[in-house]
Structure formats: structure tokens, C-alpha cells
Amino acid sequence: MAVFAIRELIIDGKDVPASGGRTTEDLNPLTGEVYAAVAAADPEDVTLAVDAAERAFPAWSATSPSARRAIFLKAADVFESRVDEAVAIMAAEVGGAAPWARFNAKLAAGMLREAAASITQPLGEVLTTDTPGRLSYAVREPMGVVAAFSPWNAPLILGIRSVAVPLAVGNTAVLKPSEDAPIGAGLFVADVFREAGLPPGVLNVITNAPEDAGDIAETLISDERVRIVNFTGSTKVGRIIGGLATYHLKPALLELGGKNSLLVLDDADVDYAVDATTFGAFHNAGQVCMSTDRVLVHRSIAEKFTSKLAAKVESLPHGDPADPATVIGPLVSERGARHVDGLVTEAVEAGARIRTGGTPARGTSYTATVLDNVTPEMRIYREEIFGPAVTVIPVDTDDEAVAIANDTEYGLSAGIITDDTRRGLALARRLHTGIVHVGNQTVDDEAQVPFGGVKSSGYGRFGGRWSVEAFTVTRWVTVADRHQHFPF
């Protein structure tokens, strides 16, 4: 397959080559062939991008709310008009199956509209004061240049999320997308904004070769003109990004990995629980930070549940993500497939039982897998799977289910399947996660909700007013209507 395009960096509204003239390959995970080539930035390109963002900030932050809102609403319309293109990019670049890609596009457009709505929301409040003749108030203002890092697994959603509210409230940004999705998680996002009329320099995109990722990130975060960092990705890399931001005394919003549990209580509708688990564990081949990794099911229904789950998972169509019938497409890389294969193989050698799947990885493909007889000594019990596999762990009590769910360094999402809402809510309050869904599985997202985790799943919240708070700085301002009295 020939390279269909060479994409350059986007700096100050223009497509420009990397200063060193280098490019890097963007591979199709299904075929292993080159899908595109993108510019491989050097540190000096990062500085040029920050230069452009800094120049654009005064005018953009002073742009009227109605003018900014019009651009965002048009961007949402543009995004929806290019859904088929976005779906094709996700299929070729990250192996995203069509239903998942269309969900990405729909939610991304919704995030743009939610960001547009946030532009005209109140950004301050009048405060009480003990000083006569003085007005005291708090106001939220844009911070300046934002460094944004977007991942590959939900490139459209998370590419948009990394910059939408930051730009909406008046910041400018430099976006560094994942090396596995430089187009979907970065360049396509910028293309949509440019078509919608976003001024040059407000959003700049830096792509890079994988071996340069560390230097590019450090150059971006260490630039004194960058005022805040947001990163979505693995906990391993998130620790590095967060450490750099802390060293340079910059706030960071980190949304990282998860080891998410679904609690299936003894009163659960088993068929519903099976359907919920299948979706939660195998959506996007399990490559979702919220994926259901562990099902903690009451022992009285465990065998019935596991048998039905294995049968349903075995029937899931695998194959080409461009085929609308495909549910399980390829993983993004052979490394990802080997990771899942290694977790499953080691668990089986230690006594875990395969109920379906478990076929050794072939390239980037891995068969949807269900395991039981999993114990705490196994890596798969604690490590994020991030692939098409799920473990089923029987429990005898609600207390035991809560204890196992909390027995992890992560704390992103959880689900509870029960017909007793009060019981489910009581358990939800005991789970150490940023997100919990009673009556549902672990995977869900909406543009206006506070999205994020605790513990090693990160800190800060994307979404709604929480994003506005994250990407603005609060200032205290007073106005005296008379001369003040001073003691000396």
C-alpha cells in the first residue's frame, strides 16, 4: 500500500515541515502497511509552536464570547459533516471498529457544542467584604498557553477533549498527539477547527517520531510560556508528564489507566449482566481506560454467569475494522497484543482457567478471552489488561466484592449490577473510584460530566464546569469607591 499522504506540522495556522526535514511512518495495525507519513518534529519545532500560541493568546483571549461560540458551533457542524472521513481514519490508523469510531465522532461533536455552551457561562462571583466602600469579587480568566497530550485509543474524543474547553475559555494550545494516532488525535482535530475559522496560532499540532517523544514532551512542558498541562494516557507515562509539570511548578490534569471492576450482585439479572460485561470488556477490543477488567460476581450465580458470558464472547465477530459487522478489531500494535497474551499465558500457567479464547496472539490480533480461577498472585489480577480479555472472580459477600474492587492502585471507574438501587448506591459510596455506575457497566462518558480518577488513575476532571475550572485561573479583584483609611 502506497503512502496516501504526508502530513506536516500545523504551526500558526500553516502546514509546515519539521525543521529537520524528517518524517515518521503511521502504520495500519491490521495490515502493518504504511497508512501515512507525518512530520517528525525536533525540539526547535516545539518552540516555534509555543511562539505561535503565545502570539495568538492576547487577541484570542480578548475575542468576544459570541464570536468564540460561533467558531465552536461551526466546528461541531464541520465534524459531523466529516464523520465518514473520521471513521476511515480510525479504522486505518488505530484499528477502530466502525461502531466505536462513529461513537467517537458523535461524542466529539457533542464536546464541541458543550464547550460552546461553556463560553457564555458566568466566570466570577461577588464576594463579601469587611471593608466599607469596596467591591470584592473573584473572576476566572484564561491561563495562557496549554500543553495538551492526546492518546490513540479514542483519538477523536480525546483529541477534542484535550483542547476544546481550554480554547473555549480563551487559552491557546500546542497539541502533541500519540505517535500511534497523529492524524486522528491531532491533525484531523486541527483541520476541523481551521475549517470552522479558528484564527492562526490558537491551536498548533506537533507530531513526532516515537524515539523523540521524551525530548518533545520535556521541551514543551519546560517552556516557561506554557502555563498548564493536560495528559491522557498510561499511568507509566503520566507519572513522567506529571513529574515534569510539578518540577516546573505547573498545574496538570492527568487522566490515566484503570483496573475497573464490575460488581454483579446475587439479585442481578444474569442475562443483562452478561450483555453489560461483554460491552464493558470488549468495546474497542478492550482498549479503553474504563474497560471492565474484573467481574466480581456472587458465587451463587457465578457459574451460570460465566458460562453465558463465555458463549456470548465466543460469538463476537473478529476481523477488519472497516467491516461494519466487526466487533473485535486488531489491537493498535503487536506490543499491545503481546502484553495481553503474556498476562493470559502467565495466569493459565499459575492455575487460571480459559473459558473461551486464549489463542496466542497473531500480529496485532488477539481473540476475545474470558478467564476464571484468577488469584491475587497473578499479574492479570492487578495489571491493566488494555485488550480483549476479562477475568471473572466469584465472591461470597458484598463486602468481599468491595474489598477486591478496591484492591488496586487504580481508581478510575466501576459498575454495579443489581435490581436494588439503594443497595447499589450504598456500595457505590464505598468504592475508591472517580466514576461509578449503578445498574450499568464501567464504560460511559458524556461531555458535561466530571470525568477522571483517583489514586494512580490520575487527578483533575475533564468535562462541563470542571474543565472550565481546570483551565482558568481564579483572581481576586477589588474596587474601592472612596479613599481607604490606612493606619499610618
List, for residues 324-374, the tens digit of each pLDDT value: 899 999 999 999 999 999 999 999 999 999 999 999 999 999 999 999 999
Q: pLDDT by residue (tens digit) across 93-128? A: 999 999 999 999 999 999 999 999 999 998 899 999
Structural domains for the chain = 6-256+453-475 (3.40.605.10), 260-438 (3.40.309.10)
Q: Which range is least confidently modeled, 68-77, 100-109, 173-182, 410-419?
A: 100-109
Tell me the pLDDT of the chain averaged across its residues. 96
Per-residue pLDDT at 249:
97
> Which of 439, 441, 394 lies closest to 418, judged by CA?
439
- In the prediction, which pLDDT does 2 show? 47
What angle is formed at CA 101 by the lines to CA 184 and CA 281, rounded to 5 degrees?
115
CA distances from 61 to 114, 169, 313 (A): 19, 8, 50
pLDDT of residue 155: 96
87 CB contacts (<8 Å, ≥6 apart)? 96, 98, 101, 102, 105
HSE of 253 in the Cβ direction (CA atoms, 13 Å)? 27
Q: What is the mean pLDDT of residues 10-23?
A: 97
C-alpha cell at 428: 457505590
Spatial CA neighbour of 141 closest among 228, 247, 262, 51: 228
3 pLDDT higher than 90: no
Q: Say what the pLDDT of residue 428 is.
A: 98
The pTM of this model reads 0.95
Mean pLDDT of 195-212: 98
What are 122-158's pLDDT values in tens digits?
Answer: 889 999 999 999 999 999 999 999 999 999 999 999 9
pLDDT at site 310: 98
Describe the crossing of helices 213-222 and 235-247 by its angle, rounded to 10 degrees. 30
What is the C-alpha to C-alpha distance for residues 81 and 75, in angstroms, rounded to an integer?
A: 10
Residue 485 confidence (pLDDT): 86
Whole-number pLDDT of residue 4: 62
**Dist CA 385 CA 468 (whole Å):** 32
Q: Which residue is it, cell 486464549?
A: 358
Q: Which residues are catalytic?
A: 255, 289
Query: What HEC string does the chain produce?
Result: CCCCCEECEEECCEEECCCCCCEEEEECCCCCCEEEEEECCCHHHHHHHHHHHHHHHHHHHHCCHHHHHHHHHHHHHHHHHCHHHHHHHHHHHHCCCHHHHHHHHHHHHHHHHHHHHHCCCCCEEEECCCCCCEEEEEEEEECCEEEEEECCCCHHHHHHHHHHHHHHCCCEEEEEECCCCCHHHHHHHHHHHHHHCCCCCCEEECCCCHHHHHHHHHHHHHCCCEEEEEEECCHHHHHHHHHHHHHCCCCEEEECCCCEEEEECCCCCHHHHHHHHHHHHHHHHHCCCCCEEEEEEEHHHHHHHHHHHHHHHHCCCECCCCCCCCCECCCCCHHHHHHHHHHHHHHHHCCCEEEECCCCCECCECCCEEEECCCCCCHHHHCCCCCCEEEEEEECCHHHHHHHHCCCCCCCCEEEECCCHHHHHHHHCCCCCCCCEECECCCCCCCCCCECCCHHHEECCECHHHHHHHCEEEEEEEEECCCCCCCC
pLDDT of 30 higher than 50: yes
The pLDDT assigned to 122 comes to 87
Could you tell me which residues are beta bridge partners of residue 480?
134
Query: Position of cell 466529516?
Result: 82
User: What pLDDT shows up at residue 5?
Assistant: 77
**Percentage of the chain modeled with pLDDT above 70:** 99
Distances (CA, A) of 282 to 170, 278, 327: 38, 6, 8
The confidence score (pLDDT) of residue 203 equals: 98
pLDDT of amino acid 1: 38
Contact between 308 and 343 under an 8 Å Cβ cutoff? The reply is no
Give the Cα separation of 179 and 366 in Å (integer). 22
